[in-house]
Amino acid sequence: MTKTARAHTNIALIKYWGKKDAALRIPLMSSLSMTLDAFYTDTTIEKATGSSDFYLNGKKQTPANSKRVFAYIKKLQQRFDLKEENLVVKSTNHVPTSAGLASSSSAFAALAAAFCAFYNINADKTQLSRLARIGSGSASRSIFGGFSIWQKGDSDETSYAYVLDEHPQMDLHLLAIELDTKQKKISSTRGMKDAQSSPFFKPWIARNESELKQMIAAIKNDDFTALGKLAELNANEMHAINLTAQPEFTYFEPDTIRAIKLIETLRDKGIECYYTIDAGPNIKVLCQLRNIKEIIENFESEFNNVKIVSASFGPGVTYSD
Ligand code: PMV
């Protein structure tokens, strides 16, 4: 028996950056994201005839690279009182390597859904979101399409995402800009932990509720300007706490700053666009349909070999067998 699920990646407009409970991945703040159509993960689970194996994009992974997947599966097997049997997990990331987008949100949402399908666990979307959250916090939001909110809650039962608007009509597009940078990766787990030493960490948490409310209002009012400004501010707050942690760290590379400057120049020219940045050096531009072409042209002339993928709203989890 084989079961397959598909989940799309999401980009947070109000970010999750800080854990209250690391093991259960209960966050210190609520977050809000946009699920993307252009990037997704397909994950299949089947019974193993021998050992447990994890394949990524058709390639069998080393035990070290499979550890997180099977530790997660073991946790779920224990949670549902299932026999700890061996499984073969095959994932394909339809995230163009050019996109520079982390795929843990789609990966663990697809894995949680494939797991429930495989074991005939009748999980509703709230439960699925809680299970995905245990694999990767951002995955809790990828269960849903459109705009979703992960309410922080304060326990495993109360920390899950829900849909704000599954089929938004808003003219909102995201350009994933892959800058040609090679940097040492600081995992989001490590970054979130270290960020707590910043003197601005408390204010960051304190602002969360009002920023979330403002973002919901921007979406309800179909106000692209308010959404873009706030998403940019929120991302910069997250990166400001990294820069003021003890010791400080940053995901920014010189090209990240160049990209920010280019966005400022475009705005000065009347091309409205905003940026958001996650735990890496790449920039995602938020814009409207009419400006996509000009923004891409400007990035292509400013950066050599830049790769740009355009995305808009994607769906929630789906199953194919
Ligand atoms: O859940 P993780 O480990 O993928 O962490 C996500 C962290 C950010 O992408 C920076 C913010 C977010 O809310 O997605």
Is residue 53 in some structural domain?
yes
Is the separation of the CB atoms in 303 and 180 below 8 Å? yes
Residues 180 and 91 in one domain: no
Residues 12 and 141 in one domain: yes
Tell me if 239 CB under 6 Å of ligand 1: no
Tell me if 15 CB under 6 Å of ligand 1: yes
Q: Which of residues 144, 169, 194 is at a domain's end?
A: 169
> What number is the average pLDDT over the span 90-106?
78
Strand 19-21 and strand 283-287: the pairing is unpaired
Residues 16 and 156 in one domain: yes
Is the separation of the CB atoms in 142 and 7 below 8 Å? yes
Q: Which of residues 169, 204, 224 is at a domain's end?
A: 169
Tell me if 278 CB under 6 Å of ligand 1: yes
ipTM over 0.90: yes
Torsion sign over Cα 296, 300, 302, 307: positive
Tell me if 136 CB under 6 Å of ligand 1: yes
**Which CATH number covers residue 291?**
3.30.70.890
Residues 148 and 193 in one domain: no
Q: What is the pLDDT of residue 271?
A: 98
Strand partners, 307: 178
- Angstrom CA distances, 77 to 20, 72, 73, 83, 254, stand at 24, 9, 6, 7, 45
Task: Render pLDDT for 264-308 as a digit per residue (tens, 0 to 9).
Answer: 999 999 999 999 999 999 999 999 999 999 999 999 999 998 999
Residues 200 and 301 in one domain: yes
Residues 17 and 159 in one domain: yes
Tell me if 137 CB under 6 Å of ligand 1: yes
Residues 236 and 286 in one domain: yes
Q: Is the pLDDT of residue 183 over 70?
A: no
> What number is the average pLDDT over the span 211-235?
98
Task: Render pLDDT for 192-204 as a digit per residue (tens, 0 to 9).
Answer: 999 999 999 999 9
Tell me if 129 CB under 6 Å of ligand 1: no
Domain that holds residue 97: 2-169
Q: Could you tell me the distance, in angstroms and rounded to a whole number, from the CA of residue 269 to the centre of ligand 1?
A: 32
Residues 138 and 279 in one domain: no
Residues 208 and 136 in one domain: no
- In whole angstroms, what is the distance from residue 312 CA to residue 181 CA? 25
Residues 179 and 162 in one domain: no
For the chain, the average pLDDT equals: 95
Is residue 316 in some structural domain?
no
pLDDT band at 1 (very low <50, low <70, confident <90, very high): confident
Is residue 320 in some structural domain?
no
Residues 255 and 148 in one domain: no
Q: Could you tell me the distance, in angstroms and rounded to a whole number, from the CA of residue 18 to the centre of ligand 1?
A: 9
**Which CATH number covers residue 47?**
3.30.230.10
Is residue 281 in some structural domain?
yes
Is residue 23 in some structural domain?
yes
Q: Could you tell me the distance, in angstroms and rounded to a whole number, from the CA of residue 102 to the centre of ligand 1?
A: 9
Q: Which of residues 169, 202, 220 is at a domain's end?
A: 169
Residues 111 and 256 in one domain: no
Using only C-alpha atoms, the chain has a radius of gyration, in whole angstroms, of 19
Instruction: Kindly state the tokens that stand for 287.
Output: 């814009």
Task: Render pLDDT for 125-182 as a digit per residue (tens, 0 to 9).
Answer: 999 999 999 999 999 999 999 999 999 999 999 999 999 999 999 999 999 999 876 7
* Number of domains observed in the structure of the chain: 2
Is residue 89 in some structural domain?
yes
Question: pTM score, two decimals?
Answer: 0.96
Is residue 318 in some structural domain?
no
Strands (DSSP E) found in the chain: 2-14, 19-21, 26-27, 31-47, 53-56, 59-60, 87-94, 147-151, 160-165, 173-178, 274-276, 283-287, 307-311, 318-319
Is residue 28 in some structural domain?
yes
Q: Is the pLDDT of residue 102 over 70?
A: no
